[in-house]
Structure formats: structure tokens, C-alpha cells
Structure 1
Amino acid sequence: MTSSQHLQAVVLTGSRNVHNPLLAGTGLQSKVLLPVGGKPMVLSVLEAIAAARFSSKIWVSTQDEGVAALRATFPFDLLPNDTGAVRSLLKALYSLPPEGDWVLFVSGDHPLLTPQMLEYFVQQGLRRDAALAVAVVERGVVRAAYPQSQRTYFHSKDGAFSGGNLFLINRRKFQPNVAFMETIDRNRKKPWKNAWMLNPVSLLQILLRQLTMAEVAVKASGLLGCATDVISMPFAECCMDVDKPSDQVLAERILLERGGPAVDLTAARQPA
């Protein structure tokens, strides 16, 4: 990978939800603004993208004024989001200026993200040249590093995998079945439900764990409407977003063990 390679990067922040247990007593409306490691989670994500060794235009998909008010030492622009992750992704995808084929999507509640994770994922995604590349992490990688971490896994012939919160899309090739994508997103915590959408033979193969994760992706490509690939990440932290209080506690511990003071690049954005 060289610094001359260019893509657009979009950080997805989700919908405002003041009833999220993580936000109780904080006064915040978006989970991504929750401080983890001394700064809002979304700032950690933005910093990782800005520090990666590829050129990227950075966007944040949000309607939260608190997110919009953040400022960093690097530029980023705003895109409107929608209800649900898939609709927000598609809305952002079709709102971006036509600057190249590749768009990287990153979850904004991922304070453990590093430039190295992004570089590895993007490099693998560009090399494979699929319409949609999805990051996953094998359970053994997670358990070897953080045996106490509780994640949701999809079981296949070659292991059990958890979602890695990173997506790389080639806009020229991406022609998705939106209803299928939304169903997958709704069932992301219950991946066995998604298997029922396949034909009986494929379903039986998955239930008996006769297909590898790559072969499952090929089956899913037919339902999605475009070629999909999975990239198995060698970083346990790649699948460790912050969904619940125990995730926050573990993320704080990991950031503390990484050492060094938190670098806060935020400041209030001055009104125009």
C-alpha cells in the first residue's frame, strides 16, 4: 500500500438513542460520543483513519449536533444518516461525490481501531477487488488475546467468526439487494437466522458446517446481487466495538495497557 492510493472513508455513527444503557446519566444522544480512553469513541476512529497509510477523504454520517461540533487537526465533512446501519450506509454511498470507485465504511463505536487494522483490511480488499469486502475475526484470535470478551459468532467449517466493523465497497460493481442487506443487519446478533434465507441444500451445508466462511460468502453473493468477500483479520480488537457496559470496561482496560496518555485532538468547532 502506498500513500498515493485514494479512497473515501465514511464513519457510521448510528441513530441517536438516549435510552441506550451506555448513555445513562451522560446527557449524550449518540453512543459514539461516549468517552472511552479519554475521548469520544468516534474521535478515536477518525484519528485511526487519518493516520493510516493511504490517502482518504473522511466523512461522518450523522445528524447529531454533538458529533458535528467535534473538531480535529485533520478535516472531515458531514453526511446525513438514516434509520438503521444499512440505510445509513446506502444513503452515504449515494451522497458521496464521484471521486473514485472505493469507499471504506467504519463503525463509529470502535475505540480500539488502529491504522494498522485499516491498512491491512484495505490492502486485502483492493487486492481481491470484490464489490463488497467484509472484515471478520476468527474466535480463536479473540480468545487467545481476550478470553473474557463475549462476542457473537457465525460458525463455519473453518472456524467461528465475528463481524469486524469494516466494509469496503467498489461503487462501480456494487448493486445490492437492499432488502437482503437489511435482513442481515437486523439479524447480526442472531446469524443463524440469516442462514434460513438460503436454499435447502446450502442451509443444510451451513448447519452441518460443511462450508468454509469464504464459501458461505459465495452463497451470500447470489442473494446480495454482487460479489462479496470476507477478510479474516489477524487483530482481535477489530471485532470489539462497544455495545454494552462490559465492552466499555474492557476497551478502557485495553487502551490503558497500550500505554501512553490519550491524545485529545478535539476542540469545539467555532460557529461560522
Structure 2
Amino acid sequence: MSATAITVIVLAAQRTGVINPLATRASVSHKCLAPIRGKALIRHVMETLVTVPNVEAIRVSVEPKVHAELEVVLADYASPELPITLVASDENIVESVVKAAGESEGPFVVTTADNVLLTRDAVAQVVDAMREADAVIGIAREKNVKAAHPEGQRNYYGFSDGGIANCNLYGLSSRKAFKAAEVFREGGQFMSNPGRMIRAFGLLNIVLLRAGLMKLHPAMEVLSDRLGATVKAVEFEDGALAIDVDNERTYAVCEELLPGRPAKV
């Protein structure tokens, strides 16, 4: 993939029928508007994304009922050179990505509105990896996540070469990669869904994964063969990238880590 304009998709919707406790605690309508270190979660993400080279558009997927409120927040980051568009989300996360993609042919970077520890360098690594892959998933090794904060994550995917955590940062090099997005549609919940895992990896490979007998990168090769699209895992040394604001515990962790994150320039 040559250097080209990138569309960033930010998933900001809440789970259907779920009242987010962080939003309730902060007396706001939506989790992405809950403040941390004096700024709404989505502001921290936007402040990083607007510094990423070659981004031509940012599209935020969220329920229409919060569009008017978010338009006010996002106006601080939009410009004629970098339009920010709000798109109605879908109950299915893959459909939300497809809707947010609009008419663009890609490449796409996908992240979440609660990914407050995101860095420009991490996005750049994903973009670079799309030169050799249809779909990219950002991950961090368990040792690096624990080095960033011992309470940052409690659940890891078990591979024979060590545990990994999802960083909620993905790359889709073109529309061909949309079918690979099904693998990522529930982020960290994917490995707990046996049906989705079997469809993606195949029954024998699921047994090997469950037994901790398969290494990460060979597993990505198996997944690529099953999907008919090249899927690559990008390993971040920065373990904090695997920590987003999911609950009270991770809110406290992110609040502690934010002051030490790389400057947004």
C-alpha cells in the first residue's frame, strides 16, 4: 500500500439496551462524553487522531440521539482539510464499520472512543503494516501490559508463545478486508464466542488455541487462510495501548497513566 489518504473510523456507540455506569456517574448521556483528566474520553482520542499524517477524514459511528451533543464537541477538531462526520451506528459492529466507511475505498483505521491512551506512533505502525496485509489487529504482550500497569488487563488470549491483549486498534486496507472485520466485531469478546471462533479458525485450530499449543503469528496465518484475506498482528511494545476505559477499574488505571503518555504534537 503506497502512502495514501486514510479514513479513520471511531466506534463510539454504547451496547444496545445497556446504561453505561461511567456515563451515569458523570451525569452525561453517553460514555464517550464522560470526563477523564478534565476532558471527555472522545476528546483524548481526537487529539491524537488529528496529528496522524495522511488522515483525510474521521467518521464517528454513534447513536443518532447523541449526534447534536457530539457535534459541539467535535467541532473543535474538524477543519476543511480534515472533516469529521457523525454516522448512525448499527447494533452489529461490522455493519457500523461498513456504514461509517461510506463511499471510501480505504485504507481504514478503526479504533474506539474510549481508547484514551492511543498514540500517533501506534496508528502509524498499523498504517505501515497495511502495506503487507488486508487486515491488521494491534495487540500487546501480557508482559508489556503488566509492565504498563499491573491492573490494566485481567483477561488475555492464551497462545503458546505467551498471552496477548487486544488494543482496539485495527487496519483494513480496502473493502476486501471488511469480511475480516467480523473477527474483530466484539473486540475482546471474540475469544469467548465459540461459534465465531470456529467459523474463523476451524475446530482443530480452536482445540490447539484452547490448549495453548499454537503461536500467535501461525494463528494469524490460519485465520488468513480461512478468511481469504491476509491478517497480520502488530505487536506494540507499549503495553498501555491495551488499556481502555471499560469500567471503574480501567478508568482509574487510565486516569493514572494519562499524564505520562507521549505528547500530542
- Please state which band the TM-score falls in when normalised by the shorter chain: 0.7 to 0.9
Deviation at 1:73, TM superposition (A): 4.0
Provide the residue aligned with 2:231 in structure 1. 228
Q: 2:107 aligns with which of 99, 102, 107?
A: 102
Native 8 Å contact 1:154 1:192 kept in 2: no
Runs of 5+ unmatched residues, structure 1: 264-272
Q: 1:77 aligns with which of 76, 85, 88?
A: 85
Native 8 Å contact 1:175 1:226 kept in 2: no
Native 8 Å contact 2:138 2:167 kept in 1: yes
The verdict on how the C-alpha distance between 1:127 and 1:162 changes in structure 2, with shifts beyond 3 A counting, is same
Deviation at 1:258, TM superposition (A): 4.5
Provide the residue aligned with 2:98 in structure 1. 90
Q: 2:207 aligns with which of 192, 204, 207?
A: 204
**How large is the RMSD of aligned CA atoms in angstroms?**
2.9
1:67-113 deviation digits (Å, cap 9, x = unpaired): 222121433222221114222112222x2x33x53011111111111
Native 8 Å contact 1:153 1:191 kept in 2: no
Alignment of 1:249-260 (within 5 A): 249-258=252-261
Equivalenced residue count is 253
Runs of 5+ unmatched residues, structure 2: none
Provide the residue aligned with 1:8 in structure 2. 7
In 1: Cα distance, 2:56 partner to 2:35 partner: 25
Deviation at 1:47, TM superposition (A): 1.3
In 1: Cα distance, 2:34 partner to 2:262 partner: 20
In 2: Cα distance, 1:175 partner to 1:258 partner: 31
Residues 1:238 and 2:246 are matched in the alignment: no
Alignment of 1:164-179 (within 5 A): 164-174=167-177, 176=179
Deviation at 1:49, TM superposition (A): 0.9
Deviation at 1:18, TM superposition (A): 6.6
TM score, norm. by length of structure 2: 0.83
Native 8 Å contact 2:149 2:253 kept in 1: no
Provide the residue aligned with 1:213 in structure 2. 216
Hey, which of these two has a bigger chunk of helix by percent?
2
